[in-house]
Amino acid sequence: MFKRTLTTLSVTAASLVLAFSGQAYAHADSGPEVEIKAQKLTDGIYVLFGQGGNIGLSVGDDGVYMIDDQYGQLSDKIKAAIAEITDQPVSYLINTHWHGDHVGGNENFAKSGTVIVAHDNVRQRMSAGLEMSSLGRKVEPSPEGALPVITFDKELSLHLNGDEMRVYHVANAHTDGDSIIYFAKDNVLHMGDSYFNIGYPFIDVSSGGTVDGYIAAVEKGLSLANDETQIIPGHGPMSNKKELSEFVAMLKDLRNSIAKLKDQGMSLEEVLAEKPSAKYDEENGKNFIKPAQIVTFIYQTL
Ligand SMILES: [Zn+2]
């Protein structure tokens, strides 16, 4: 399922390494080599690939509605890429969750008049900052101007550009503030980081992520999709329902194998020694999240 991701691995893996580093790496991810590439999905929906989480765009008579914004250093390039598609301003921006590679441009967009929308916990976590123990990194609190100004608890809809953009909160999945977004008429689904199309997913235990919530989030996405749905993953190339189904089947299998071992009373070290992910490692364990990490995330949250 991940075979066709190979060409983008180097860029995406590099961006993920920087993804959770906050201000400390501010100079490191601003290289002139980063190119923002647009892919048209339907008449009104685009995806932008650059460095960090994939950006979704709805473009039409009502303006530009954007999902995630990568790093602050890339905001000008992202705005330039949007300007090649339309001369409309970005009216609304939805953050799929609080990680720096998805919200890094918030302040820049807010300054130019964009209204930022996210789940309640995105604003809360951005305000507070966090010691991310699973990656050994500290994320500083965000400035006031970067915070979402419209927040919601369970779901909301934006009616725009002739479509209904349904934003669903999925609880304790990749974090505790994730949203997935479905464009009902265009049949495009943005999964945020509740779908990594580059191998094992990151489950951010420090931010409230859990394996069962992650699986439930993918299943919510699958319930919205059909065979024609174009699926934007948080990271990696465009995908579809078949690949998303394979991804969740792998996760469930891993979850159940690890649960069995944990139920026998095994410690994390003992479970790691059993290498319960071995059959998936060749295809999925060589990028951002390594086999020992996915096993640890699952063990810790069962
Ligand atoms: Zn993330």
Structural domains of the chain ordered from first start: 3-250 (3.60.15.10)
pLDDT surpassing 80 at residue 251? yes
- Give the Å distance between the CA of 193 and the centre of ligand 1: 5
- Give the Å distance between the CA of 116 and the centre of ligand 1: 17
Q: What is the pTM of this model?
A: 0.89
- Give the Å distance between the CA of 54 and the centre of ligand 1: 11
Mean local confidence (pLDDT), 55-65: 96
Residues lining ion ligand 1 (Cβ < 5 A) are 99, 193
Mean local confidence (pLDDT), 268-286: 97
The reported pLDDT for the residue numbered 4 is 38
The reported pLDDT for the residue numbered 166 is 98
The reported pLDDT for the residue numbered 2 is 40
pLDDT interval class at 172 (50, 70, 90): very high
Mean local confidence (pLDDT), 78-99: 97
Residues of the chain with pLDDT > 70: what percent? 89
Mean local confidence (pLDDT), 262-277: 98
- 210: closest CA among 297, 296, 122? 297
- Give the Å distance between the CA of 71 and the centre of ligand 1: 12
- Give the Å distance between the CA of 99 and the centre of ligand 1: 5
- Give the Å distance between the CA of 97 and the centre of ligand 1: 7
Q: What angle do CA 288, 293, 295 make, to 5 degrees?
A: 130
pLDDT surpassing 50 at residue 25? no
The reported pLDDT for the residue numbered 137 is 82
- Give the Å distance between the CA of 103 and the centre of ligand 1: 10
Task: Indicate the residue type of 234.
Answer: G
The strand pairing partners of 229, in sequence order, are none
The reported pLDDT for the residue numbered 32 is 63
pLDDT interval class at 121 (50, 70, 90): very high
Mean local confidence (pLDDT), 51-74: 96
- Give the Å distance between the CA of 265 and the centre of ligand 1: 31
pLDDT surpassing 90 at residue 297? yes
Mean local confidence (pLDDT), 8-34: 43
Mean local confidence (pLDDT), 146-175: 97
- Give the Å distance between the CA of 176 and the centre of ligand 1: 11
pLDDT digits 0-9 by tens, 201-210: 999 999 999 9
